[in-house]
Chains A and B, each alone.
Chain A
Amino acid sequence: MTSNAPSPVGGAADRLAAVVALRELLERLEDAAVEGALRDGWTWPQIAEALGLTRQAVHKKHIKRLEHAGIDLRRRRG
C-alpha cells in the first residue's frame, strides 16, 4: 500500500480482475450447461464433442457432482 504502488482498481487491475471474474463465471457456466444438457437427454460423448473435449475429461470433471443430482446417468454411456 505504498504511495507509488498501482491502485487495486482501474487500468491493469481491472483487466486482471476481469480474468478472475471470467474464470469463475466460466466454471459456473460449464457446471450448469453440462448438467442442463444431461437433464435434456444428451449423452457424455455428445456433451464432450460440443465442448471440444474428450469424453473422459468431461466425465471425470462432473460425474462426482452429478451422481446424486437425480439424473439417470446409466443410459449415458459415460
Chain B
Amino acid sequence: MADTTDLPDDLRQIVIAAIDQAAARNSSSAEAEDLLLAIAASRSPAAGVLASAGLGHAGILGLLRAERERSLAALGIPPIGPEQLRATPRAARPTWGASLRAALLRARQPGARGRARRRLTTANVAAGVLLASYGTVPRALAYGGIDRGALIGQLREVTR
C-alpha cells in the first residue's frame, strides 16, 4: 500500500493526521505511534476506548517520551534538554514508515477483499497498531502498565 486511495474517507483522514503528528514530532517518517496519536485525537469510538485506558493524546505522548528516555537510559544517556534539540522543522512531509504500513496491513481482516476492505474502521486500525509485538508502541504500553490484549478485545467489540 503506497497511498491512501484504497482507504475509506475517515481512515484516509486518520492517516493524513498521523503524518501531521509525525511532522509535529519533527520525524522524517510517520510510524505506528503516530497512527495511535491521530486516532486518540479523532472523534471515533476507538478514541473513546483508548481514552478509557488512559490513552488520550497527551497520555500517549507521555508514554512515548518515557519509552525513549528509558531506552536511552539503558545506554547511560540522560534526558536531553529541549533547548539542545531546538531546530526549525523539516520542510519535507514525513513518509510512511514501516510500522505504520504494518499496522494498516494488520488492521485488515484476513482474506477481506473489495467491499470488506472498504469497511475497515478506525477501531480496526487501532487494533492493528496494538497487535504489534515489538517496537515503540508495545514497549511504551508495557512500561505504562497498559493491558494490550484487553484493549484489542475492546476495540474488536466496537467493530462488531
Contacts and interface: CB of A to CB of B under 8 A. Distances in A.
B87 to A, nearest CB: 4
A37 B138 CA distance: 37
A17 B71 contact: yes
Interface string B64-100: 0001100110110100100011111111100000000
A13 B132 CA distance: 13
Contacts of B80: 25, 29
Q: Give the interface size bracket for B toward A.
A: 20 to 34
A18 to B, nearest CB: 5
B136 interface: yes
Contact of B139 (A8, A22, A28, A31): A8
B135 A8 contact: yes
A50 interface: no
Interface residues of A, number: 29
B139 A24 contact: no
A13 B134 contact: yes
A29 B72 contact: no
Interface of B: 26-28, 67-68, 71-72, 74-75, 77, 80, 84-92, 131, 133-136, 138-139, 142-143, 148-149
